[in-house]
Structure 1
Amino acid sequence: MDDNLDLATLAADFLERERERLSVDAVAKPTAGLQKLGETAYDCIISDYEMPGQNGIEFLKAVREEYPALPFILFTGKGSEEIASEAISAGVSDYLQKETGTEQYEILANRIVNNVERTRAQRQLEEQNSHFRQAQSMAHLGSWEKDIHADEIYWSDAVFDIFGLDADVTSIDHNQFMEFVHPADKAHVEEEWRAALTGDEYDVEHRIVTTDGETRWVRERAEITFDKTGAPAKALGVVQDITERKEQADRLQKTSARLRALFERSPDMINLHDIEGQIIKPNPQLCERTGYSEAELTDMSVWDLDTELEPDEATLLWKQMRPGESKRVDSTYRCRDGSTFPVEINIRRLGQGHTDHFVVISRDVEQLGADHPE
């Protein structure tokens, strides 16, 4: 931009001839420049200092209000330390004084390319960091670095969030970190850290107590580098909040324990088999009523036990069942001694990663009749 449109157009021509990749639009007034910026996306602005209505610094300030990161080069014939200082304070990207001859346009072209490429690289880095921070947040994952010699630990923002600590703290030492570790886990964490300082892997799960008193589970992993003397020098690590995973595992363990108790103590005969009909696990009631041992039943297919079951028909039925779907049938079981008894069977196809497995609950119809006489 130049108050003399002819000179601005001439400068644009020189720049485009100097670098074929450059495409330059020339305007004479700051108002026209701001209007252009609102209509078209530009990579860089080159502005004179002395212009009608606004000088180059005032124009720069107006641009910075809307486009804080857009490269702005002040290319002016009015050079002074005062103007240069004012331009730097206003956020100018570069400052170049006009000279005679066309060589100046080669310098200006280089400045344009350098500023644009630097801005693009910075934008790309910021986007990558943003994506990284987002990924860390989604994974409840943070990073940390420790200067072992200085005993200083530096945390990413995500780690501060996990520990419930304000991010304005620049660093903490080992003892301050250990204050967050749950009292019951302190000895274990210290033992793992001392082992890591001798070269062992550092991968530890433990509880922490946040600043607001909440107990959380974290997993910490780190790689330690050693100096020329073999002494530990730096540690780079990650910490992940695994509280939800631990709580889920605890719920599953409790559910599994209840299911095992139900399986073992149920008055009904229960077995688990796969989609090929192979018995995987019988409960004690099925073993007792049929006379087979658990080992014998797990060597059998369900049609070895069920006298009315046809293998082809059964496997077709099982494949047609949806995960979670149940079916009820009446049949007859054969005992180890050759005797038989009628059964009422409920079969259910499992889900959630076990869709090739079926749970079968059987009841002795004769026993039901004995328990409920008319």
Structure 2
Amino acid sequence: MLARILLLVATLSIPGASRAEQTEAEKAGFASRLTIYLAKGAPDACGPGCDRWIAIEGQVDNDAASRVRRFLAGVKDTQRPIYLHSPGGNVEQSYVIGRLLRSRKAVARVGQTIVTACAAGTQVDAACLKTKNAGGEIEAELTTYHAMCNSACGYLFLGATSREVAPDAALAVHNSRLVFAIHGHPPAALLAEFRQRRTAAADRDRTAYISAMGISRELDDLIHTVKFENLHVLTRTELDRFGIDTRSLAETMWRLEKGTTPYVSKFAMLKNEIGPSFRTMEWRLYCDNKNRVPLMFAAEIDEAAIGKRTIVMTADAAPNEEAGGLSVRAGKYEMWSGSLDFGKFRAIMASRSLHVREITRKPDETADTTKFDIDATGLPSAWRQLEANCPPATAAPKSPWPSAPLPGRGT
């Protein structure tokens, strides 16, 4: 019996690799092997003062950790952020890579790198992958829109000491499954016993890893409840509660939205002062109309706040020039719309931050003020893209607020 057990163990794949695979549809757009390379973008492409980053993308394959180790050994700048875009893969390899990131106190974010030299829609074809694997820095752009770090990628992400998930990106989890390569015809009872032991060991390894990364045990409990065939996208509240991304304000990059009435937008999620939930906000800038730039703002209503709300915005370059006014409630949102003269707009374009104040005047004549800043550094690039898409004569938006909904992962 012992000999038969040893034979079974020897013929299991490495030995029973824990995987968090996706369906073929979910794998679409990803390389079958983890790819890691240096990328360089426009000024402030990866944040204020940041134009260089490390891209890690594709399936976490069985040899991924050794390649990542060799690559990181040659990158002396430990503060260069790492952007992850992966559907998952080999869990054990992700643990190793996660510990490598922890050893260098890495900054990790969920985001997709778009290599300039690769034509649209060809980021994972043979020619583009050859470019990415050639070495050296590659000209590229960054986007967090629809970027993902799912399944095994999540364990890799947890290894970083600084972790950021933008509101338009996804960090998704589910339970893993063991993949065995079995030769011969071992007794069913023996195989079932071995599978049970390996599953229990995999659960212990996951629990120990999550704990070692300083993440709440609640995440481990949640993963255990999500079937392998499903995915659970972590909400902003869960990211905060589990200790994964604890920023009180998370925001997207400025992004062009094409259409009949094009605009650039930014989403942010702000933690409520009372309670653990977050509110989603959006800013939109439209093509200039009669030498003015339409600006719209919308936010989910803070149910704990009672009274009339005023929104006030100023920019670094013109701190005394204010935009904003009383907001209007519509359903579960509050909205403000207006327009900026080119002086105020140029001040925003020249600024690092847009300073926002929300003033709530209570029935007893007292007022509460919430202050926060949003990043304005990517706006000039997005605005140039908008100008290229503006029709010759632009009419102001007909509706006080377009019908497109705000993202739904606010709580």
TM, length-normalised to structure 2: 0.22
**RCO higher in structure (CA 8 A, sep ≥6):** 2
Richer in strand (by share): 2
Richer in helix (by share): 1
